[in-house]
Amino acid sequence: MGFLLGVEIDNSRVVWIWDSEHSSTRPIKLTTVSENQNKAEIKFYLKKDGSRYYLMSESITDLPAMHAGEPSINIKPRVSDKTFHYDILLNGKRVRSGSHGLRKYLRSKAPFITAAVSAAVIILILLAVFLFIPMLRSSGKTQPAANTPSAANTPTARETPPVNIITSGSAESPEVEESPPETVFIESEITDRHAVYFKPDSAELTADAISGLRDFIGKLPGEGDFEEAEFELEIRGHCAKYGTEEGRAELSRDRALNVYSFLKSDWNIEADSFVSGAGAAEPVSLRRDEQHLNRRVDINIKGNLKLKE
């Protein structure tokens, strides 16, 4: 079953820009709706099996002062490995790039149905076994015939030997097989965040950045710590407000991708990931002597885990 990716326009309807069945894109041009509008918010949606899901939004700030309808905002989408990638262009120049994982929306329901059916079959088999064994044991006992004289009236009558031969000298009740203990699961939720800092005009991870990332990974649950889990990982790159807007978008995006690659190789846990670069649109500080705080990547992780008690 295919899916569609779309963008909301006019705050009311969604225009679909990607069709997975044909791997085709539909060009779309967005613009402003008011005079001198300096901010635009773009909302992305996914449609599958008749249901529509909100994915994420991107805010484009510092729009040039122009008449309504003049700024040209274009979106270039693509999908690979169940991940939605996009570039946002303002008047022909790329100002934002990002990606968003689609695995949890595209996950097939068939494995869950198969698991449920298998569990039901196992339960029925166990019930049948527990009911059949006592019946089998009781049917094996010899019952006296209706016309057979009693031992009191017939001294030479042979007694029917008991079914169970007991060597301890005392009667024992037949053993009943106990049911296996039920596995109890505990639902747990985690949230955590971490910031990685960079040198000016560089997307390379420093030794301090790598050390901090390894400490952060060490606090996260590992593959053997849970039975089932779903994680959402948001990695957003930033930079100081120097250079061109296009250059800042590219640098912040490269920083985020490098952090994502490190986490993917060292943590090795499947997660729905959202990787993007915000340029200099979301500064921590505007002070000239604190611009190092803006050369960063923010990591936010949320997870729902199922643990054995």
CATH number of the domain residue 250 falls in: 3.30.1330.60
CATH for 37: 2.60.34.10
Query: Quick one: 3 and 99 in the same domain?
Result: yes
Give the domain extent around 19: 1-107
- Could you tell me if residue 4 is inside a domain? yes
Domain boundary among 107, 135, 151: 107
Query: Quick one: 298 and 191 in the same domain?
Result: yes
pTM of the model: 0.52
- Could you tell me if residue 18 is inside a domain? yes
Domain boundary among 107, 133, 167: 107
pLDDT band at 148, cuts 50/70/90? very low
Which residue in the block uniquely carries the two structure tokens 């929306």?
105
- Could you tell me if residue 128 is inside a domain? no
Query: Quick one: 187 and 71 in the same domain?
Result: no
Q: What percent of the chain has pLDDT over 70?
A: 74
pLDDT 10s digits, 258-307: 999 998 888 877 777 889 999 999 999 988 899 999 999 999 988 887 76
What 3-state DSSP class applies to 199?
coil
- Could you tell me if residue 173 is inside a domain? no
Query: Quick one: 192 and 93 in the same domain?
Result: no
- Could you tell me if residue 135 is inside a domain? no
Q: Minimal CA–CA distance to 93: which of 63, 77, 73, 67?
A: 73
The chain-wide mean pLDDT, for the chain, equals 78
- Could you tell me if residue 95 is inside a domain? yes
Query: Quick one: 82 and 203 in the same domain?
Result: no
- Could you tell me if residue 255 is inside a domain? yes
- Could you tell me if residue 241 is inside a domain? yes
Q: Judge contact between 60 and 73, C-beta under 8 A.
A: yes
Residue 5 makes CB contacts below 8 A (sequence gap 6+) with 16, 17, 18, 44, 45, 46, 47, 55, 77, 79, 84
Domain boundary among 91, 107, 123: 107
How many domains does the chain divide into? 2
Is beta strand 228-237 parallel, antiparallel or unpaired with respect to 272-277? parallel
Give me the mean pLDDT over the 189-210 stretch.
Answer: 92
pLDDT 10s digits, 4-16: 898 887 677 888 8
